Structure 1
């Protein structure tokens, strides 16, 4: 019987949402994980999880045990790291998820510097514009842009992300330059994402305004939208880290700049059980230090 190992298994089941996913993350069999949790419940004399064929539901006592176990495991990890001399030098592997365009613009130059500073850290990066499930997919850390959904994840602000409305000079010469957000109803737009109806948000005279926009092309990748805008396909709305170079050399021109909404927030989010991870915390502090230096945001 190893109480700390049982705690780790139970916390992984809670984080993953199923015995199968937890077993995959732990490198154990589903039967072994299930048996250990049954033995844990027998030892404690309480039911921690209500099991059904489709889902696991945590009981109130199970939730209390989970929260306490996370704190204890974090403390144990910190003690072990201190004994191993890792309080000064992080060591281990970080599984990181990041948006594709942002990573190409910034992480390509930052991660090598981070890895040169911390020689005993390894980083596995997955680039995806979809919001990955950190717990069930086994990520230690994710970078996310925009408003975060309520969750049990911990979030740390890294920097501000500015977005602009822009189009090519050729498009504006042919179709005219919009003066007010409502003018977009008569323009081709290049919205990010999918869906039948896309809304762009504006700030005018302190009042928020939303406008439904349409166009012949919708993509869930900013680089493709930038290229479409440069080709004269319409007006797009993208972060400056994607369109900044095109704005500087004149391939794109800003429009409706007086109506731009507040910047978005770039956040680092991670599960509660990674709060005591020295490599994760070191990467967060490194990114915050480097990215927040940019005056006016990214």
Structure 2
């Protein structure tokens, strides 16, 4: 027996409140509705409906199955729509929050290509390095960089984020090149104010309690820290999507290559909604493979 047909029949019975009304809605006989429901319960080995002469009510298991069935049917309909010119069906305003530097440097291409595929969708992009409560502020999707903690939100990784430790040739000429992490303690570290503690970012377990870096410069923007390093202000640690071009041009050079920090990730974060809006689903599907396993900013590394 076709599972999808039995699921649709079950949904109709719950929504209409009776076998006969469900039969009318589906244009089949009440006997066939009853047969489908019995077959479904036999297959699941679970009673989904309480039947009396007056009404049909849903069991606890039936309610759970009903919720999941709804999502399955919606997913199938969304998939079918995507094969029938989905671009005409995705519309409205999609609000996106993203980190300042990443958004400025690398997000425009993705968004332009996305709107080419979904021209009826308007984008509202908000760039900030501050933590954004997407539920409270009514944002559809947030792009976040880091190692995400457990949350009620859904997070999907879309790109690896590598970190580089670097300084300008002039700085290293004047102050020497560190050979170990402990050598960093005699240098000025240019610290990003939104980052985890420095000793954790380096990810060297045996030095976590010992490594304390001195810093006379703290900023909340990675581009500014890169430019400060280029100007000879100290040693910085920033993602390669920020520092990659300067590294390739020799404006700064990598140091401590044997101690490269563990990579982080670029994630799409969105609310754990039971029924995901088509505009959010479209963006999640589109962005998932956009940057690839090795993003273009790392190809020259």
> Fold conserved (TM > 0.5)?
yes
- 1:1-298 correspondence runs (5 A): 88-89=86-87, 90-193=90-193, 198-199=198-199, 201-202=201-202, 209-210=207-208, 211-273=211-273, 276-294=276-294, 298=298
d(CA) in 1 for partners of 2:82, 2:249 = 52
Q: 1:71 to 1:253 in 2, by over 3 A?
A: farther
Q: For the aligned residues, what is the CA RMSD?
A: 3.4
Deviation for aligned residue 1:177: 0.2
d(CA) in 2 for partners of 1:269, 1:249 = 34
Contact 2:164 2:261 in 1 (8 A): no
Greater alpha carbon shift after TM alignment, 147-156 vs 174-183: 147-156
Deviation for aligned residue 1:191: 1.1
Deviation for aligned residue 1:220: 1.3
Contact 1:191 1:213 in 2 (8 A): no
d(CA) in 1 for partners of 2:285, 2:239 = 23
- Secondary structure at 1:191 match in 2: strand
Contiguous gaps of at least 5 residues in structure 1? 1-64
d(CA) in 2 for partners of 1:84, 1:230 = 48
Q: 1:83 to 1:246 in 2, by over 3 A?
A: closer
Alignment correspondent of 2:15 = none
Contact 1:201 1:209 in 2 (8 A): no
Deviation for aligned residue 1:92: 2.3
Deviation for aligned residue 1:109: 1.9
Alignment correspondent of 2:39 = none
Contact 2:160 2:294 in 1 (8 A): no
Contact 2:78 2:278 in 1 (8 A): no
d(CA) in 2 for partners of 1:188, 1:252 = 15
- Secondary structure at 2:290 match in 1: helix
Contact 1:164 1:260 in 2 (8 A): yes
TM-score under structure 1 normalisation? 0.68
TM-score under structure 2 normalisation? 0.68
Contact 1:98 1:143 in 2 (8 A): yes
d(CA) in 2 for partners of 1:112, 1:235 = 35
Contact 1:274 1:280 in 2 (8 A): no
Contact 1:202 1:209 in 2 (8 A): no
d(CA) in 2 for partners of 1:249, 1:83 = 47
- Secondary structure at 1:129 match in 2: coil
d(CA) in 2 for partners of 1:100, 1:272 = 25
d(CA) in 2 for partners of 1:187, 1:84 = 55
* CA displacement, residues 66-121 of structure 1 (integer Å, 9 cap, x when unaligned): xx989969977986998999882322221100001111111122211111111111
d(CA) in 2 for partners of 1:275, 1:266 = 24
- Secondary structure at 1:179 match in 2: coil
* CA displacement, residues 200-240 of structure 1 (integer Å, 9 cap, x when unaligned): 53356xx5643221221111110010010000000000000
- Secondary structure at 2:201 match in 1: strand
Contact 2:244 2:297 in 1 (8 A): no
- Secondary structure at 1:136 match in 2: helix
Deviation for aligned residue 1:276: 2.1
d(CA) in 1 for partners of 2:81, 2:258 = 56
In our comparison, the structure showing a higher alpha carbon Rg is 2
Deviation for aligned residue 1:244: 0.7
- Secondary structure at 1:291 match in 2: coil
